[in-house]
């Protein structure tokens, strides 16, 4: 499926903002990844940088936009697909960049930094709140979240992004990660899921 803009929201779950020592923002905090970062990883090898410090996983609900954005549009009309993806982050590099006031791109936008699971038809806002999503690392659950715990919900995010930057078919939006982020190691096996469905699976290969 063709991917255009890759928008991401930071600090959109209170417990995750707290675990990294960040305040909850008063407006959505947006950043982007190059579309080249997005890779469909239903099953396979996930190659990530191995020589730039810790690589953190952040499992997130990801929505795909199916219609040109118009103000006030309902999420059920705007979004066409849903999956769970990982917002991979070079955390030590990000901390260095933040300390220097520099952009995050190198820490957030490297190749394969946005692995995506299998796309599902967007199930609708009501159904979404009834299903948890999360991540298993080597068979152990490390993250579990639910859209209803977002600081800024899908409607607010869509209006914010649509009005500030524009939203159109093929754009995707990472909606923030719940608590439980941590580092990857070479050979780790990741499985990310929504409800009772595993949407993506990958074995981590840290590039030498
Ligand atoms: Zn994130």
Domain ranges of the chain: 6-41+56-131+143-184
User: In 34-132, at which residue ranges do the beta strands (DSSP E only) sit?
Assistant: 38-40, 45-49, 55-57, 59-65, 79-86, 89-90, 114-116, 120-121
- CA 63 to ligand 1 center in whole angstroms: 14
Helices (H), the chain: 14-19, 75-78, 91-100, 105-108, 125-129, 154-164
pLDDT of 22: 86
pLDDT of 194: 98
pTM of this structure? 0.96
Q: What is the topology classification, in CATH, of domain 6-41+56-131+143-184?
A: Fumarylacetoacetate hydrolase; domain 2 (3.90.850)
- CA 69 to ligand 1 center in whole angstroms: 23
pLDDT of 82: 98
List the chain residues with pLDDT less than 50.
none
- CA 54 to ligand 1 center in whole angstroms: 15
Nearest residue to 129 (alpha-carbon basis) of 111, 108, 110, 149: 149
- CA 59 to ligand 1 center in whole angstroms: 7
- CA 179 to ligand 1 center in whole angstroms: 11
Contact between 25 and 13 (Cβ < 8 Å): no
pLDDT of 197: 97
- CA 147 to ligand 1 center in whole angstroms: 14
Contact between 200 and 60 (Cβ < 8 Å): no
- CA 57 to ligand 1 center in whole angstroms: 9
Contact between 28 and 49 (Cβ < 8 Å): no
Residue 43 DSSP code: S
Nearest residue to 28 (alpha-carbon basis) of 173, 186, 182, 190: 173
What is the rounded CA–CA span in Å between residue 10 and residue 29? 5
- CA 116 to ligand 1 center in whole angstroms: 13
- CA 177 to ligand 1 center in whole angstroms: 5
């Amino acid at each position: 499926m063709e991917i255009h803009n890759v928008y991401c929201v930071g600090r959109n779950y209170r417990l995750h903002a707290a675990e990294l020592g960040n305040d909850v923002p008063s407006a959505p905090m947006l950043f982007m990844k190059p579309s080249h970062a997005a890779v469909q990883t239903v099953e396979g090898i996930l190659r990530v940088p191995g020589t730039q410090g810790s690589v953190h996983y952040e499992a997130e609900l990801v929505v795909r936009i199916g219609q040109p954005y118009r103000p006030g549009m309902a999420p059920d009309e705007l979004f066409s697909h849903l999956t769970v993806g990982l917002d991979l982050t070079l955390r030590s590099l990000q901390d260095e960049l933040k300390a220097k006031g520099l952009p995050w791109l190198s820490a957030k936008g490297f190749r394969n930094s946005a692995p995506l699971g299998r796309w599902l038809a967007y199930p609708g806002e009501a159904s979404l709140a009834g299903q948890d999503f999360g991540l298993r690392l080597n068979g152990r659950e490390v993250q579990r979240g639910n859209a209803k715990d977002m600081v800024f919900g899908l409607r607010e995010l869509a209006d914010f992004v649509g009005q500030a930057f524009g939203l159109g078919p093929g754009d995707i939006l990472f909606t923030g990660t719940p608590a439980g982020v941590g580092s990857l190691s070479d050979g780790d096996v990741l499985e990310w899921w929504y409800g009772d469905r595993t949407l993506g699976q990958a074995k981590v290969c840290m590039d030498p």
